[in-house]
Structure 1
Amino acid sequence: MLCTIQMILEQPLFENAQILAGKSYLNNIVNRLSVFDCPVKDSMLDKNIVEHGDLFLSGLDQFTENPQALKKFISILTDMRCSALIITDENPSLITPDVVKQCNRGSLPVIMIDRNISYASIMDTINKLTVQKYYHALNASKLTNLKTGKLNSLEKKRILNSINPKFGEFICLITVQGSTHSPITENDLTAFFMKRPRDIYINHDNIHYFIFSDDARHSLLKNRDTFRKSLGLYFSDYIAGISLAHPIMEINFCFSESDLAMDTARFLHENQVVYDVNSLLQLLMKLKDTQELYRYHDSLIATINAYKSENDTTLFDTLHQYVLCKGSYRETAAAMNQRETTIRYRMNRLRQILGLEDDIVQFHTCITVLVIINQLMQRD
């Protein structure tokens, strides 16, 4: 996401700012900042030097003797679709009801700040934020190309070098969906990764990408795990997916693994999950939208449901609880308030129904997969 007026107002410097007009247009995007405090002349400010997305800063002193000139100035800003006008609190009477209406019609927020806030600090805050947002947006578009584009090795290497020419031989990815505690926290994250020459932080559209790299796989995983344990310091409500380490030219595996791990975290209602190549749940989640998985589920359910003598869903409910209890007859019986012999009878009956009386391993695999698929379908 590019820099907006709302993002600027969230900065500590603007915590006491007042919105005098255009409150509905705080999502206006800021492209650059200009100061306009010179005496008004017809030739001083015209549409040739104003561009779409400009944010103007002014004390309005030049309009005190000629309030009508302010309306002309605002007309230029609205005609050119400028992002906002920030004024100091020295001349608030110039923002009359008519001016407010003019700004509202022209989608131009007018924001008033304390006169004691220096222009230098305002410009420094806004310029840093604008540059930072462009930096994140540009690198996010490059990540999209790496993630979705069919690139050859040369193209992939060129994009990776443009993101960070100091990447190491191995790379891994932590993808976080959520909001940081505050704009200060996000700035801290940016500053923290600026000091790490082999790593990079990219934030775009509420998705935070943390790319770690190193020439040694074990060092890379150590850095990854140290940082992931600190995510709670930066995010209050988040979901994170963590990839394994791969050679840098295999970064596409990092994207697919972190996305799948994030889906798993969401499914399990956990804050973060590390991709596990041996996880049956993650394997099935990768297949969850395929017809083959649904056919497998429906076929088994239909076979079980054909035996209505077991009171409709009783068999499946027992099967489900048995899997949740990790194959313990005693715990399943306690959870269902049944005798252990009853649970044993039902599970033996299921083995007969599924034709797996002589293959206990296949039976347990089958019912475990069935329960996981059923949970996936229920969540969808």
Structure 2
Amino acid sequence: MPLTLNELYTQTKHQYHLSMIAGETGIDHIMNWVYVSEDSSTHNFLKGGELIITTGINCQDEASLYDFIETMIKSHTCGMILNTGKYILSEDITDSIKALCDKHNYPLIEMPWKVHIYDITRNYYNKIFMDTQKDTSITDAFLSFIEEDSLHHYDALRILEDNHFEKEDCYEIALMKCNKKAISDDLKLRLLFLMESYIKLNDLDIHIAFYKNHFLFVFHDMEEELIYNEISSLISTLENSFKKMQIYAGIGSSVHTLREIRVSYQRSLAALVYAANNGQEIARFEEMGFFRILHSVNDKNLLMAYHDEYLKNIEEYDEIHDTNYLETLHQYLLCNGSIQHVASNMFCHRNTITYRMRVIEDHWDLKLDDTVERFHLMVAFFIRDYLGRK
């Protein structure tokens, strides 16, 4: 899990003579970098989660200091250290500035001028670097099981067990993606920051990584209903921050050893594809019905051949003659042969549907009163949906 401002503040407050003067309720904000800034115009370079350190050289009156802090709050930085004693003094931090920080749960910390900014930033950079290395090693360890990299399983298991991920325990993978073909590094960092903040705020035991253009979540010892609820809530949080973004998620199956985690990953990927193809926000593998069987077929060419055997001729006829026989047949099967229901679903007169069905049976020699024939056709339509052929 990423570092919080609270962790670093607690570890170093005596060493650097730090004192919290406002916004203490936000002390558990995620901290992912240290940024020395004297000018609010630099806010465009911020990604979120930075701890701002300033001497206040350009904020030597209440109004300018207030505006500077307000800009840093809006930029989603995690807090600010004021290096007081030269350009700004303790008495310059007015009640209105403290009230601003308290209102937004924005930690405002005072550090005396005798403390060199170089010393504290180097210390914090080292701690952030070590934490990042730890997080990367955990991610790589999980991926060694997901990718079946058996050469590194021993080391991966040692790393995970050292970080309280036991070999025999309950794990479940979920995947998330947004409706963008490629995610820029900037967007990826912003999304990861929001995800990690949500997880930290709700005290959840989840490991996050970015893998093959998807956000990967490893849930540890968590009930499936809670997993679904947290993913749903997280999607709402992200979409509230990025108004035009559509997010999809797939939830795999629960497994009980680290060596089985690849199964959960593969199933979460199938559920993600299912969700995106069907325009639904979240899909659970366990609720995908017959699609779970199709997912287990490794030979996709076999599935395509099965589809083509039953539906390709009708599909090509529709394309050439601009007809709608394939969808009519699909609706007929879904409606269990009810002409009235098909007509209602397709907004057609029942006589039109009756005519189409007679053409379908005669032209392609289909015996739709045969249960086995209808089963084969329905499986072909399931394959069509599974392969994303619209």
Q: CA offset at residue 286 of structure 1?
A: 6.5
Alpha-carbon distance in structure 2 between the residues aligned to 1:211 and 1:140: 13
The one-letter code of the counterpart of 1:141 is D
8 Å contact 2:141–2:157 — kept in the other structure?
Answer: no
Matched, 1:213 2:216: no
- For structure 2, list consecutive stretches of 5 or more residues without a partner in the other structure: 4-29, 60-80, 85-108, 179-187, 240-245
Alpha-carbon distance in structure 2 between the residues aligned to 1:283 and 1:222: 23
The one-letter code of the counterpart of 2:221 is S
Alpha-carbon distance in structure 2 between the residues aligned to 1:292 and 1:357: 24
8 Å contact 1:190–1:201 — kept in the other structure?
Answer: no
Alpha-carbon distance in structure 1 between the residues aligned to 2:236 and 2:325: 46
Matched, 1:200 2:206: yes
8 Å contact 1:174–1:242 — kept in the other structure?
Answer: yes
Alpha-carbon distance in structure 1 between the residues aligned to 2:317 and 2:249: 43
Residue in structure 2 matched with residue 138 of structure 1 by the alignment? 137
8 Å contact 1:181–1:234 — kept in the other structure?
Answer: no
Q: CA offset at residue 259 of structure 1?
A: 1.4
Matched, 1:268 2:267: no
Q: CA offset at residue 228 of structure 1?
A: 3.6
TM score, norm. by length of structure 2? 0.55
Residue in structure 1 matched with residue 146 of structure 2 by the alignment? 147
Alpha-carbon distance in structure 2 between the residues aligned to 1:12 and 1:365: 63
Residue in structure 1 matched with residue 253 of structure 2 by the alignment? 244
Matches within 5 A, 1:268-307: 268-276=278-286, 279-284=289-294, 290-304=300-314
Specify whether residues 368 and 294 from structure 1 end up closer, same or farther in structure 2 by C-alpha distance, changes over 3 A only.
closer
Q: CA offset at residue 364 of structure 1?
A: 4.4
Alpha-carbon distance in structure 1 between the residues aligned to 2:191 and 2:315: 50
Residue in structure 1 matched with residue 384 of structure 2 by the alignment? 373
Q: Deviations over 1:16-40 (max 9, x none)?
A: 74339xx89x89xx9xx9xxxxxxx
Alpha-carbon distance in structure 2 between the residues aligned to 1:225 and 1:362: 38
The one-letter code of the counterpart of 1:239 is Y
The one-letter code of the counterpart of 2:373 is Q
8 Å contact 2:249–2:283 — kept in the other structure?
Answer: yes
Specify whether residues 11 and 148 from structure 1 end up closer, same or farther in structure 2 by C-alpha distance, changes over 3 A only.
same
Specify whether residues 294 and 222 from structure 1 end up closer, same or farther in structure 2 by C-alpha distance, changes over 3 A only.
closer
Which of 322, 326, 336 matches 1:316?
Answer: 326
Q: Deviations over 1:316-373 (max 9, x none)?
A: 2422443565754223213444332442453355345254345224314414533651
Specify whether residues 91 and 270 from structure 1 end up closer, same or farther in structure 2 by C-alpha distance, changes over 3 A only.
same
Q: CA offset at residue 274 of structure 1?
A: 0.7
Please say which structure displays the higher CA radius of gyration.
1
Q: CA offset at residue 183 of structure 1?
A: 3.7
Q: Deviations over 1:35-83 (max 9, x none)?
A: xxxxxxxxxxxxxxxxxxxxxx9xxxxxxxxxxxxxxxxxxxxxxxxxx
Q: Deviations over 1:264-290 (max 9, x none)?
A: 111122221111276233544666982
Residue in structure 1 matched with residue 75 of structure 2 by the alignment? none
Residue in structure 2 matched with residue 172 of structure 1 by the alignment? 172
Alpha-carbon distance in structure 2 between the residues aligned to 1:268 and 1:127: 46
Identity across matched positions, percent: 21
Greater shift in the superposed pair: 199-208 or 255-264? 199-208
Greater shift in the superposed pair: 244-253 or 274-283? 274-283
Q: CA offset at residue 148 of structure 1?
A: 0.7
